[in-house]
Amino acid sequence: MNDHAPLNRGPLTGLKVLDLTIALAGPMCTQRMGEMGADIIKVEAPGGGDFSRYSTMAGITKFGDATTFITLNRNKRSLILDLKSDAGREVLYRMVKDADVLVQNFRPRVASKLGIDFATLSAINPRLVYGSISGYGEDGPMKDRPGQDLLVQSFTGLTMNAGRASGPPHPSPLYMVDVSASHLLTEGVLAALVARGSTGRGQEIKVSMVSAIMEMQIQELTSYMSTEAPPTRSASPQVSIWMEPPYGIYACTDGHLALAQVDLNVLAEVIGVPSLKTLKTSRPKQTDSAALMQWRDDIYDAVAAKLATDTVAHWDELLTEHGLWCGVVNNYERFLSHPQTQRYLTTMTHSSGGEYRTVAPAIRFSEQPAPELRGSPRYGEHSREVLLGAGLSVAEVDKLIADRVAVTEVEKA
C-alpha cells in the first residue's frame, strides 16, 4: 500500500482538490478541506515552490521549511510542475479531468495568461468547482496592488479602530484578513459542491481579501454609515472605539485584566467606585464628540486607577463571582500551558522524521472520528506518485522530470 495514499476519513473523503495556492489564505482553505478527508494535491512551481517554505516567522524553521509552511500544508501531497510550459499545462489539464475542486490565489489575470482560468478548465471538466482569492478583486483601481494582510487592514480603515488619539494606527498582529478569506472560500467551495449535487455542474467562487475584512467589520461599517457623528479615538488606550466603556484592558499589580461588556452600576458596587454610577447617567450626546471622548476617558481612568491596586487573580475572581465578564490577559506561555487549551492542540509527525506541536483542526463532526493528520509534504515529495496516479506512463513521467517540467524531491538539490 502507498504510504501517501489519500486519507480515508472525513466528510470530504473521495474528493480530489488541486491546490495552486501560496502564502496563507489559499493554503489554509485547502488544508481545511484536507482535514475533512479530501485528497489535496499541492501543485508548486519549480525554483523553490510555495514561498512560505522559506518566508519565515521570526526566522523559525523546522524540517528544512519555515514553520509558516508546515503549519498550513498538512494532509497534502506536493507536485512540482512548471505551469508556464506547454507540457506542464497539459499535465494539469489531464489532472483537471477527474478533479472536483481547484483553488488558486494568483493576482488578477495571471490565471488567464497561464491558460488555467475557470473558463478554460470548466470546458475540460464542467463539474469542476473553481475557487480563487484575490487582494482587492478583479477590477477597480487597486486590482493590481499586492493583497498583503497588513496593507489590506490599513486600506479598509481597521487600523484606526483602536489605540489612543495621540498614537499611531493600531493594526492586528495576526494575519486576520488571510484567515477570514480562507474561511469564506472554504464555505463557498462547500456550497458549490452541494449545488453541483443537484445541477451536475461546477462553478467559480471568487473571494477578495477586502470583502473578507469588510464582512468582519460589518457592525462597525454599518454603524459608521448610519450616524453623522461616528466615534473617534480618545486619550485612553482603547481596544475598540465602537464599544461603550469600560470595554478594554487594564493593568493590575501583576499583569492585565480584560473587561468586556459590563454594567457600570454593578461594576461600581463590586469594585467600590461609586462615581461610575454618576458617569453612566451623564453620557454626552452622540453629536458632541469632544465631550464624548472625555466621558470615555473619565470612565477608563476611574476603572484603571482602582484595578491597579490589586492582583489579576483578585479582580478576576471577584468580578466573575458577580457575573461581570472579564478575563486574564495571557501570553503564549501561560495560554499554551492552560488545561483548557490542551484539547485544541495536536502533535504532528513529519515525513522527514521528528514531531512538532501545532493547532488541531477546529471543526469536529459527530458522524466521523477525529481526522487523520499527516505532516506537510517535502518539496516535490509526491511528484512522481501524483503523475503516475494521474494516468501518465513511467516514460512520460521520466521525460517530464528530465525536461525539468516536473521536479521530484531528489532533483531539488
Judged on CB neighbours under 10 Å (0-12, 13-18, 19+), 413 is exposed
Distance CA 109, CA 145 (A): 13
Q: Which of 216, 17, 184 is CA-nearest to residue 104?
A: 17
Residue 9: which pLDDT band, with cuts at 50, 70 and 90? confident
SS3 121: helix
Identify the H or E element spanning 321: helix 312-321
Distance CA 402, CA 412 (A): 13
Average pLDDT of span 225-243: 95
Q: Give the pairing of strands 129-134 and 204-208.
A: parallel
Cβ neighbours for 389, distance < 8 A, ≥ 6 positions apart: none
The whole-chain average pLDDT of the chain stands at 95
Q: Which of 370, 369, 377, 344 is CA-nearest to residue 358?
A: 344
Quote the cell numbers at residue 193. 459542491
Please name the fold of domain 16-216+365-412: Rossmann fold (3.40.50)
pLDDT in tens, 383-407: 999 999 999 999 999 999 999 999 9
Angle (CA) 329-334-337 rounded to 5° is 140
Quote the cell numbers at residue 205. 467562487
Residue with grid cell 481579501, as numbered in its chain: 209
Contact yes or no for 375/347 (Cβ under 8 A): no
- Please report, rounded to a whole number, the percentage of residues in the chain having pLDDT higher than 90: 94
Q: Any idea where the domains of the chain sit in the sequence?
A: 16-216+365-412, 233-251+256-328
Distance CA 71, CA 176 (A): 16
Question: Is 149 labeled as catalytic in the residue annotation?
Answer: no
pLDDT of residue 1: 32
Cβ neighbours for 276, distance < 8 A, ≥ 6 positions apart: 264, 265, 267, 268, 299, 302, 303
Quote the cell numbers at residue 95. 489532472
pTM as predicted: 0.93
Q: Bigger pLDDT: 244 or 413?
A: 244
Q: Of the residues 39, 178, 297, 298, which is catalytic?
A: 178
Residue 411: which pLDDT band, with cuts at 50, 70 and 90? low
The terminus-to-terminus CA distance of the chain in angstroms comes to 28
SS3 95: helix
pLDDT of residue 7: 56
Directed axis angle between helix 289-307 and helix 264-271, to 10°?
30
Judged on CB neighbours under 10 Å (0-12, 13-18, 19+), 408 is buried
pLDDT of residue 396: 98
Residue 8: which pLDDT band, with cuts at 50, 70 and 90? low
Whether the pLDDT of residue 5 is over 80: the answer is no
How many residues appear in the chain? 413
Cβ neighbour number for residue 194 with a 10 Å cutoff: 10
pLDDT in tens, 344-360: 999 999 999 999 999 99
Residue 226: which pLDDT band, with cuts at 50, 70 and 90? very high
Distance CA 200, CA 206 (A): 20
Quote the cell numbers at residue 159. 487600523
The one-letter code for the residue type at 9 is: R
CA torsion through residues 253, 239, 56, 348, sign: positive
